[in-house]
Amino acid sequence: MASAEAIAKLETKAVAAEKLIQLLRQQISQVKAAQAGQGNGGGVAFSQEIVQLREENSKLKSDVETWKAKLSAAEVTNGKKVCCAPTKSDEKPKEVKAEATPTAATEKKEKKVKADKPEKAPKEKKEVKKEDDTPVDIGRLDLRVGHIRKASKHPDADSLYVEEIDLGEEKPRTVISGLVKFIPEEEMQDRMAIILCNLKPSKMRGIMSEAMVMCASTPEKVEIMAPPAGSKPGDLVQVDGYTRNPDAQLNPKKKIFEACAPDLKVNDTKQATYKGVLWTVNGQPVTSQTLVGVQIK
């Protein structure tokens, strides 16, 4: 096994050989420059000197390579890692890697494009419901003539009547009214009335009420609004100037009845009006019994 001292000597000689080669190259360059500056007469001598220098240079290069080989072998024998200058073959993978970089970036870009979610189609605008375009007036209220067949006190509420009302439909409706304090029970039997038919049904003390009896009202007195003589159950209430187009069922959130209520009044001649225009059934007015200038509720 080569000693450390021998390795050191080999390294020193290799370095010296390298320096000598560099020196010879410089001298060759100087000779070439001098030859270029002189005439043809001295060209042969210079050419011979150049040839000699080249031969020496080649020999030295050979010696350097030999010493390098010995040095590398000695280092390997001593377990020392050999680091050599990169050759052309070493540099080639770097070039391949450089060329591969754009390809990888392109592939990444393509994957990103594929990963992008497709654009959502624009949402279609919701159609405006017909009832939203309809003016808020008495035309939205389904007012009809009804026949109160019978009425009795609510089993769980002393102030309420439970009424059975014929509206010209397949079966009568059940209606709850708070009229016990104002109208005797016997007067509630077998009588005609004006009924608001498209309120949302609601339970009153456990019984579902499906409509509302329209009344002229004050805090002290209440009277059921009466259709003209000869009216039949299901006859429609009309108001001139307001197209009758009632909702199938009034939406409590939109408060359509509440918007119309302030203009539902009995005039000075006991006739029902909306904004001063008469309610009529078959061309005849709807009336109260005695009350005038009051609200209809």
pLDDT at 262: 96
Q: Cβ distance 151 to 160 under 8 Å?
A: no
CA distance 133 to 124: 19
Decide: helix, strand or coil at residue 118. coil
Q: Is 167's pLDDT higher than 80?
A: yes
Q: Is 132's pLDDT higher than 80?
A: no
CA 142 from centre of chain? 40
- The pLDDT-based confidence of 43 (bands split at 50, 70, 90) is low
Q: Is 202's pLDDT higher than 70?
A: yes
Q: Is 203's pLDDT higher than 80?
A: yes
Q: How much helix, strand and coil, in percent to the nearest 5, is found in the chain? A: 40, 25, 35
Give the mean pLDDT of 226-253. 96
- The pLDDT-based confidence of 104 (bands split at 50, 70, 90) is low
- How far are the Cα atoms of 72, 188, 239, 276 from residue 98, in angstroms, in the given order? 31, 101, 89, 92
**β-pairing verdict for 277-281 and 238-239:** antiparallel
More confident residue, 245 or 97: 245
Share of the chain above pLDDT 70, in %: 75
Find which of 11-20, 102-111, 238-247 is predicted with most confidence, using mean pLDDT: 238-247
pLDDT at 73: 76
pLDDT at 90: 46
CA 58 from centre of chain? 80
Q: Cβ distance 246 to 141 under 8 Å?
A: yes
Q: Cβ distance 139 to 246 under 8 Å?
A: yes
In what side-by-side order are the strands of the sheet with 143-154? Answer: 173-177, 157-166, 143-154, 191-196, 212-213
Give the mean pLDDT of 247-257. 94
Angle, vertex CA 285, rays to CA 281 and CA 288, nearest 5: 115
